[in-house]
Structure 1
Amino acid sequence: MKHIVLGYDGSAFSMQALDWALDEAELRGLSLTVAHAWQWPYGEAPEEARSHLRKAAEHVLWHGADCARHTSSGLTVETDLHEGPAAERLVELSHEAALVVVGSRGLSALPRAVVGSVAGYVATHAHCPVIVVRGPGPLPAASQPGPVVVADRDPDAAVLDFAFEEAALRRVPLATSADVTAWAARHPGVPVQEAADFGTATLVVAGRRRAAPAGVAASLLQHAPCPVAVVGG
């Protein structure tokens, strides 16, 4: 059975992502895998030094998993500790995942970065949908949640399937400028409205084929005021 994968490094951004990943797992009835990667950045090193770094990584992973277990209602939480690049490991894990959730940037990102290299790489290369959690404050809870917004003018079927599923799970409307008559018939419980301002959205959804540097998804990953889902092949 597929699961939700969370990329976690202990940063405030990954804590936001943890909140969102928990919500996804509980809404979908799936388990959560908290994943953390580490690597020695200075070339050759004595084993003792590497051991200290690994223990620090184990502590970060334990903290994320412990937070997940104590803030969920009986959710199955597993862990994945990897020595090597975080982005590559998350893409590898995406083969068996229903969804990968990451923060917009992590501890290693430069202060000026709007979206970190890990988030950008995973969103572009993963084998399943990826949600990059952006926006201020606690997520995803909101007193008046906005719609799920489809950003693409000509969305792929995978984008619409995912967007309708998220809207149904969260019991919010779907907003889009595309003709979604066929999808709306399959999801009669999801109200459909005209495209909304991204600033009001609970989630913005875009196709992965538009995640290239000049694409819609790439722009959203840099500037959207809310979480962004990147979907499709």
Structure 2
Amino acid sequence: MDRIVLGYDGSDFSVQALDWALDEAELRKLPLTVSHAWQWPYGEADEDAKAHLRKAAEHVLWHGADCARSTSSGVPVETDLYEGPAPLRLVELSAEATLVVVGSRGLSALPRAVIGSVAGYVAAHAACPVIVVRGPGPIPAATKPGPVVVPDRTPDESVLEFAFEEAALRQVPVSAAVDPAAWAERRPEVRVEPYGEAGERATLMVVGRRRTMWSGAASFLQHAPCPVAVVPEV
């Protein structure tokens, strides 16, 4: 089932991720699933005690879905309430998703953490591309959006394919550390910019997740100045 999946916990970071996920759903003409996970953290408890926490979780999920419906231009919005660890649920949902979008941190992340445990786990294990939206608050509307940047000098074909697709959807150039000649011919509507200083004004950075090496993608997640898409390599 093609859809965009959003991990939402009510934090400022997930509100920013919601904005990005709505953009993706509108551009790709796909439904959006807003997912929120909850779990009882205090050991054994009766069902009445858990019911209060579940009710709070339902309210968080309702708020996220209501924000999505009220600000979108007709995107179908579905909800997913899950009792259990959020990263495991998002990875599970990724098996039937086109894209998963998460905030860089959630409510449980340490104040100094750049990337939270949920975002890191999902980016490392999801079956589909994951966009980690960095920073709290609304995404500023750029008057002149920057390029989609591919910083790897030996990117997988899946990384270039995703980068050119995203650039075409957003009508921005691609800037790659390697000459993307074949993809430039396949997607002539996408302009290719010199690499140079493109990373500093990037709209999105796209990196690959190799089966045998996660550290490279993890480094970009920690230090990139913009949202990062992590694409599983074939």
User: Would the alpha carbon gap of residues 144 and 230 (structure 1) be closer, same or farther in structure 2, given more than 3 Å must change?
Assistant: same
CA contact 1:109–1:117 (8 Å) conserved in 2:
yes
Residue identity in the other structure for 2:198: D
Q: Mark the runs of 5 or more structure 1 residues left unpaired by the alignment.
A: none
CA separation in 1, counterparts of 2:138 and 2:173? 21
Q: Which residue of 2 aligns with 1:122?
A: 122
Q: Distance in 2 between matches of 1:135 and 1:198?
A: 17
Counterpart-to-counterpart distance in 1, 2:137 and 2:62: 24
Partner of 1:199: 200
Identity percentage of aligned residues: 75
Distance 1:89 1:166 in 2: 25
Given that 2:104 and 2:115 are in contact with CA atoms closer than 8 Å, whether structure 1 keeps it comes out as: yes
Rounded to whole Å, the distance in 2 between the matches of 1:224 and 1:208 is 15
Q: Distance in 1 between matches of 2:125 and 2:211?
A: 12
Distance 1:3 1:160, change over 3 A: same
1:118 partner amino acid: V
CA distance 1:149–1:192, change in 2 (3 Å): same
1:214 has 2:208 as partner? no
Residue type of the alignment partner of 2:163: A
Q: Structure 1 pair 9/150, CA: closer, same or farther in 2 (3 Å)?
A: same
1:137 to partner: Cα distance: 5.1
SS of corresponding position for 1:36: strand
In structure 1, give the amino acid aligned to 2:188: P
Counterpart in 2 of 1:111?
Answer: 111
SS of match in other structure, 1:108? coil
TM-score by length of 1: 0.96
For residues 113-151 of structure 1, what are the alpha-carbon distances to aligned partners after superposition, in whole Å with 9 as ceiling and x for unaligned? 110000000001000000000146532631110000002
Q: 1:122-161 maps to which residues of 2 (within 5 A)?
A: 122-135=122-135, 138-139=138-139, 141-161=141-161
| Residue number in structure 2 paired with 1:73 | 73
Q: Which moved more, 1:80-89 or 1:135-144?
A: 135-144
| Secondary structure in structure 1 of the residue aligned to 2:59 | helix
Aligned residue in 2 for 1:53: 53
Alpha-carbon distance between aligned partners in 1 of 2:175 and 2:22, rounded to the nearest angstrom: 24
How large is the Cα RMSD of the aligned pairs?
Answer: 1.4
* Whole-angstrom distance in 1 between the partners of 2:68 and 2:15: 10
Q: Does 1:163 align with 2:163?
A: yes
Structure 1 residue 161, shift from structure 2 partner: 0.3
Q: Give a deviation string over 1:143-194, Cα, whole Å, max 9, x none.
A: 1100000021100000000000000000000001212111111110101012
The superposition leaves residues 61-88 of structure 1 with CA deviations (integer Å, 9 ceiling, x where unpaired) of 0000000000001110000000000000
Residues 210 and 218 of structure 1 are in contact (CA less than 8 Å); yes or no, is this contact kept in structure 2?
A: no
Contact 1:131 1:228 in 2 (8 A): yes
What is the distance in 2 between the residues matched to 1:36 and 1:99? 16
Work out whether residues 204 and 229 of structure 1, in 8 Å CA contact, stay in contact via their aligned partners in 2.
yes
The answer to whether the 8 A contact 2:12-2:137 is kept is: no
Task: Say whether the 8 Å CA contact 2:147–2:198 is kept in structure 1.
Answer: no
User: Which secondary structure does the structure 2 equivalent of 1:96 belong to?
Assistant: coil
Q: Relative to structure 1, is the Cα distance of residues 22 and 211 closer, same or farther in structure 2, using a 3 angstrom cutoff?
A: farther
Q: 1:200 to 1:20 in 2, by over 3 A?
A: same
1:197 Cα offset (Å): 3.4
SS across alignment from 1:61: helix
Any gaps of 5 or more consecutive residues in structure 2?
A: none
CA distance in 2, matches of 1:211, 1:53: 39
